[in-house]
Structure 1
Amino acid sequence: MHTSPDLLALLALGEDVADDEDLVHVAGCPDCRAELAAFTAAAGSARRAGEATLVAPRPEVWQQISRELHLHEAVAASGPTAPPADPPGPAAQPGDDRPAERRRVRVAAFVLAAALALAVGVGLGTNLDRVGPGATREVATVSLNALPGWPGSSGQAVVEEDRDGNRTLVVTVTSPEPASGPREVWMSTPTAEPMIAMGYLQDGRGRFPIAPSVDLQQFRLVDVSQEPAGDQDFRHSGDSMVRGKLPV
């Protein structure tokens, strides 16, 4: 008998609710592993669907972007009135003071919503926000170029808009390097401060709703990071795979 979907949903939230027998079964059952992965993806995507989660970047993210945009040279040329080389303090620190319990409650609500969507045939994960063919227009598209350490990697980011003005970020990424953990999609300003965590790729693809409050004139950079296995840190790992700037 397969593991209960309710139990798999709780496992996707990181809850320690399974006994040894259930864990052994999930580890050896392809069907249950796939269902657990779908619940995990749904939790990650849906948690971000209702609002833009602003995240303070790690210093190395700013350093990478600064090198790409030659911002250090601009600082030296413009003198003391230029912006500092290091980013200012973050506008929000989601991981600093937020209790773990509140995070679990929010994600649990979204996982339950995803389960209901599955029951009526809408689907889980990246299919939650899929729109019908011909119902969207392309607002912007950009190629995602490999960062140092990720030769041969590439991708594309497209912003779609439906007839009601709802926007979706569609990202595809390929890499010769196997994934060592989840690969996360981010939107950020040119200074990488703050960043918006959009969600995780599944098999190199993902569709992520863009909150109405997000100004694409400011959050033009699309970045895909390799996050560590079992990552519990809401911040960018500092290991960017590919990046590009939306032409908006």
Structure 2
Amino acid sequence: MSHLDPDRLSLIALGEPATDEERAHLDTCDECALELAELEYTVIVGRSTVGVGDLEAPPERVWAGIAEELGLGAADRMSTAGGIPAADERERAATADEPERASAAASVSDDEESPGAPAPARRKRRTRIVFALAASIALIVAAVGTWTLVRETQPVEIAVATLDAFPAHPDASGTAVIVEKPDGARQVQVDLEAAEPSDGFREVWLITEDASALVSLGTLEGSTGVFPVPDDIDLREYVLVDVSQEPADGDPTHSGDSIVRGELGFA
């Protein structure tokens, strides 16, 4: 029994309609029907990555694993810059592998065109290639998915400020880093280098650029503190981070004695 041309099976798997004769053959030929099913599976796996969106390039170890899985040499590995071989890498690979590829091409040509090579043997080789490609695509999707998931569960730094000393506290310095958590909540971490106060306490503030409004984030205990940023605070307006020295007098307003202050720079 003659079988359908492998190229036609590939086109049908990609969505090209089969003719009545081809459909009738697939209904009666288990071998061609199985090969078509394997090709359709590969197409489904490949197309399943389209909706993933913009993805981070996986680490080099992912491409190394794929190259090892497929038995590729170092020159055949894809660059991590978008998963596409760099131009110079492609040129070196083409030059280095030309004799080997020529030999391989001749071997494949002999196998496929030789009358002595039975059709089942050729189809088994094609099946192995199909499954290798499907496994490689699945490996890429799994690696990128894991990479994206890990990245999405980490807080993202959105702004940083260098806190400069006021004249009354010349030796003080500090930094403030604002991060946004996966749930959208924002936090500011303040690190302060300054002498411990003999009395009173130190308080962290967010202040508008023109100092017309301010909000207290809390008391700084020690040299480092993490404070939640209220949801209704627009950090594009409250761009100044301030640490003040406050007396223990029960007055919730700013004492006017700032230790350090700095403006947020956004990522």
Between structures 1 and 2, the one with greater helix share:
2
Q: TM-score, normalised by structure 1?
A: 0.44
Return the TM-score normalized by structure 2.
Answer: 0.41
- Of the two, which has the highest radius of gyration? 2
The one of the two structures with greater contact order (alpha-carbon pairs below 8 A, sep at least 6) is 1
